[in-house]
Amino acid sequence: MNIELSINGKVAKMKIEGILNSENAYLLQEKLTEVLNSEATLLELDLLDCRNISSTGIGKIVLFYKDFITKGGEIEVVRSSNSVYELFSMLKLNQLFTVNLG
């Protein structure tokens, strides 16, 4: 699993590749904390090369979301793989933020 994060003013871009599981979810948590501590108010998530996410990984995103919206932040999944898109739809996370496929 690999995470690339770039923060440019109000926009943070994060690209996750591979499988996000319970073993590596803490790496996502660390990157999300960086975003939370920055000026960014929009997090663009690129999950096209993310093959799947475990519930621990989803938990980190949801926890981040709760903190991020209190500072006026927004999340958008700009691209996602089929499996991640289905997972987000199944867990109804697309009710929280926009999730784009492909």
Partner 1 sequence: MRHRILVVDDSSSLVLSLAELLKYNGFEVETALSGTEALHKIETEDYDLVICDIEMPGMSGLEFLSHVRKDYEKEIDVILMTGYEDKEYFIEAIRNGAADFIRKPIDSKQMMRSIQTILNRKKRRNDFSEFYNNLEKAEFHFELDPRNFSKFAVSEVFHKFLRQNFDLTHNALNEILICVDEMVYNAYIHGTLGLNVQERVMDHNALQKIINERLQQPEIASKRICFHFSICHKTQTIKITVEDDGPGFDYENWIKKVTNEHKLNLEENGRGIAMLYHLSDKLEFEKEGRTVTISKKLPVNKK
Sites of contact with partner 1 (CB under 8 A): 1-2, 17-19, 21-23, 26, 29-30, 33, 49, 51-56, 58-59, 62-63, 66, 82-83, 87, 90-93, 95-96
Rg (CA), the chain: 12
Strands 42-47 and 11-20 turn out to be parallel
Residue with the two structure tokens 């996410």: 53
Q: Closest distance between partner 1 and the C-beta of residue 24, in Å?
A: 8
Q: Looking at beta carbons only, is 7 or 91 nearer to partner 1?
A: 91
Q: Which helix (H) or strand (E) holds 66?
A: helix 55-70
Q: How far is the CB of 55 from partner 1 (least distance, A)?
A: 4
Q: Is the separation of the CB atoms in 89 and 99 below 8 Å?
A: yes
Tell me which amino acid residue 11 is: V
For partner 1, the closer of residues 9 and 82 by Cβ is 82
CB-nearer residue toward partner 1: 9 or 76: 76
Residue whose entry in the numeric block shows the structure tokens 């093959």? 51
Shorter beta-carbon distance to partner 1: residue 9 or 55: 55
